Structure 1
Amino acid sequence: MYSFSISYQKMGDKWKKTKFLGAGSYGTIYLASKVDSPLSDSIRVAVKSASCEDSTSLKEEGRILYELRGCREIVQCFGEDISFENNEGVYSLLLEYASGGSLNNLIDKYEGNMPESLVACYSYMLLKGLSHVHEEGFVHCDLKPTNILVFPSQDGTEVHNLKIADFGAAKKIGEEEILTPGTDSFHRGTIFYASPESIASGLHIPASDIWSLGCIIVEMIVGKPLWTGRRKDLIKKICFGDIKIPEKISGITRHFLKMCLAKEHQKRWTANMLLDHPFIVKNLAALPPNFNDRVMLSLTNPFGRGTWVSTYDLFSTQSEPEEPADLGLVWNSLISC
């Protein structure tokens, strides 16, 4: 399925996890930096980790990020590592660090007063990311504000860079799934942003991500989710209720949202179609000509040469297990997990 080979190598540098950042799908996220590196020179990265025995889903997320590498609107993954931490084998993905937190933090900051022109800029970035995801044959399946990272502007403007992250629930387009109706696993992702077809039929397609985007855009503008209530009531509202777009939203934006939130997924516009909608085009026209260039891609891999590295022992808290053993056999065991 992937053109992805693994050849683990030990690196000379040692890194440490310095701060807990949160928990994502199938992994815990930490801030990390080089050991003994001066604070002013320190390169900070995010590390998403899981025990080796529970790392199957995290490894799958890594393989998806490997396929999606090179898009400026998707968080970059520099590679993977296996370390022996506190007597346990730990698998980690090595990721870009977003010092601005998540889109959820940005929404809270504006308290329902984010200008529609700014929302259009952020929608443009998310559409560019989704276009790449879909063209590469994937569906994100869990697009929501906490899974969108904020990289602060470097030019003094209020337009920060957004990147889509957390592909733990993503799937290949057309990949068959065995689902049980009525269970929490019937639809992937978070129900507040789940599309009618994913809830009713367990169908996860590119149009489902577009529905999620529509929900996020409403939330950016008004400061609160489009859908609220208990799970059972939410299911009825999303599948059968009327969509009430808040009155404060302008006409051109309302039409854009209608193209995102059509109940029948066949009627929703694709990411590429939405990029040409007047809501996007009109608001981007006022931006500098070099706007696309400011959304920078991390070109330098802090862990080694190339766009992807597979390493071991970067974060190890001890050089060998407490019980005497052949360290080579230990690492072979961890790598094959």
Structure 2
Amino acid sequence: MAATKKNTYGDGVDWIRGSIIGKGGFGSVYAATLKKNTENKLRFPSVMAVKSSEVSVSTTLQKEMEIMSDLKGSPYLIECFGHEATISSDGTFLAYNLLLEYCSGGTLGERIKKSGDKGLPESEVRVYTRCIVRGLYHMHGAGYVHCDIKPDNILLVPQVNNSASFTAKICDFGLAKREVRNFKKRRITRGQNWQGTPMYLSPEAVRDNIQEAPSDIWALGCVVLKMLTGKPVWEGDTAGEIINKIGAEEELLPDIPDYLSDEAMDFIKCCLWRNPSYRFTAQILMDHPFLDGLTEDGDSYRPTARVMFDRPFLDGLSEDDDDEDSDSEDDSFGDSYCFAKAIVDDLSLYSYM
């Protein structure tokens, strides 16, 4: 049943449903405001985004709720305040609702479109990229893969101390899944078809139906390239044409314009190795020079989740060394990037080099 009126899914105990602000494959999203007489003003913000679908087809939303509960604690992932069932305005069905953080800045995709396909200033891209990297680090450390990183799944929230600047937050966990970290099990369970948006799919997703943490990093590289250029990462009139290019035996790669800064080009290259074993991790990318010197949301936040790797190229980069003379954890993050970069510079497998 399609939702066409604002009250099709009904109001909540503490909130009133407003106009529709978005619609996807798994539900419609509405703005919602708290009722004046509610006793839960401390539990909910005054404005929320409510993602709804009929209970009979709400399996994905319920799964999303479980995943978001597991991922609490990162300011770079959209916050979930709970869930609630409502009765439709005509009393004919029940609706399942996720109560989510409202992001008044809209989506990153909308922000890119406003640039007129010219791309965003690099200074702005760096801010959004750091937020996304930190969000992915938290997700991957908790054992989850997003599987659909793209501009439309990144929301912008005005910063508390500067309403003209935004923090980027990852949203829409409907396709997210537990990461399979054992390579043998990964090969056994890869029979399912890929999920996500063709433009941002990794080669291993297209060829082998494998979507793990490196696939999110590939998508991140595509998102950064899209932000900087304003243009599609791949040329193609249909999803099939794009899929064929990504999975091509010639091992094609997206074009990176030479007018970008050296740091921006290198960051994108670190994400777009066709072999997922050579892609940098979110942990290492946090200390890439492209993200240096950013202090707009403070430097105190450092995700606590640890990332375990089964990729040969990155062995030894995820855990602190046992050397008694090792430096602090913060220093180890910078060291891991330098070490990984040194190895990359010695490899001849990278098509961009």
TM-score by structure 1 length? Answer: 0.75
Per the alignment, residue 15 of structure 2 pairs with: 15
Structure 1 residue 244: deviation in Å? Answer: 1.1
Cα deviation per residue 1:180-217 (whole Å; 9 max; x = unaligned)? 6xxxxx11100011111111111010000000000000
Say whether 1:279 aligns with 2:290.
yes
Q: Provide the residue aligned with 1:30 in structure 2.
A: 30
Checking the alignment, whether the CA contact within 8 Å between 2:190 and 2:209 is kept in structure 1 is: no
Partner of 2:261: 250
In the alignment, structure 1 residue 101 sits paired with structure 2 residue 128: no
- From 136, 141, 144, the equivalent of 2:150 is 144
Q: Which residue number in structure 2 is paired with residue 262 of structure 1? A: 273
- Classify 1:52/1:13 alpha carbon distance in 2 versus 1 (closer, same or farther; 3 Å): closer
What residue identity is the alignment partner of 1:233? E
Q: Show the counterpart of 1:114.
A: 120
Question: Which position in structure 1 is the counterpart of 2:208?
Answer: 201
1:89 matched residue in structure 2: 94
Spell out the pairing of 1:131-280 with structure 2 (5 A cutoff): 131-156=137-162, 158-174=164-180, 177=189, 179=191, 186-229=193-236, 230-240=238-248, 241-280=252-291
> What letter is aligned with 1:214?
G
1:159 CA drift (Å) = 3.1
The CA RMSD over aligned residues, in Å, is 2.5
User: Per the alignment, do residues 12 and 102 of structure 1 end up closer, same or farther by CA in structure 2, a change over 3 Å counting?
Assistant: closer
Q: Could you list the per-position Cα deviations for residues 244-268 of structure 1 after superposition, in whole angstroms to 9, with x for gaps in the alignment?
A: 1122212221111111011111110
Conserved? CA contact 1:20–1:29, under 8 Å: yes
Q: Look up the match of 1:299.
A: none
- The residue that corresponds to 1:78 in the other structure is 81
Q: CA deviation at 1:27?
A: 1.3
Cα distance in 2 between the residues matched to 1:47 and 1:157:
23
Q: Deviation string for 1:67-105 (max 9, x for gaps)?
A: 001110000001110111132111111100001110011
Which sections of structure 2, spanning at least 5 residues, go unmatched? 1-10, 181-185, 302-353
Percent identical? 36
Measured after TM superposition, the shift of residue 219 of structure 1 is 0.8
Which residue of 26, 49, 53 corresponds with 1:50? 53
Any conservation in 2 of the 1:15–1:34 contact (CA below 8 Å)? yes
- CA-CA distance at 1:17 after TM superposition: 1.0
Change beyond 3 A, Cα 1:26–1:255? same
What amino acid is aligned across from residue 63 of structure 2 in structure 1?
A: E
The aligned amino acid for 2:94 is G
CA contact (8 A) 2:190 2:210 kept: no
SS of residue in 1 equivalent to 2:159: coil
Q: What SS is found at the alignment partner of 1:32?
A: strand
- The answer to which of 108-117 and 132-141 deviates more is 108-117
Flag structure 1 segments of 5+ consecutive residues without an equivalent: 1-10, 181-185, 295-337
Partner of 2:330: none
Runs of 4+ in 1 over 4 A off after TM superposition: 175-178
Count of aligned pairs: 274
Between the aligned partners of 1:93 and 1:19, the Cα distance in structure 2 is 16
CA distance in 2 between partners of 1:130 and 1:152 (Å): 20
Per-residue Cα deviation, 1:125-171 (whole angstroms, up to 9, x for no partner): 10100000000000000011111111023333643111100000001
1:67 maps to which of 54, 67, 70:
70
Counterpart residue identity of residue 203, structure 1:
I
Q: Offset of 1:280 from its aligned partner?
A: 1.2
How far apart are residue 24 of structure 1 and its match?
2.9
- Within 2, Cα distance between the matches of 1:178 and 1:221? 33
Task: For 1:248, give the aligned amino acid.
Answer: Y
CA contact (8 A) 2:145 2:213 kept: yes
How far apart, in 2, do the equivalents of 1:222 and 1:232 lie? 23
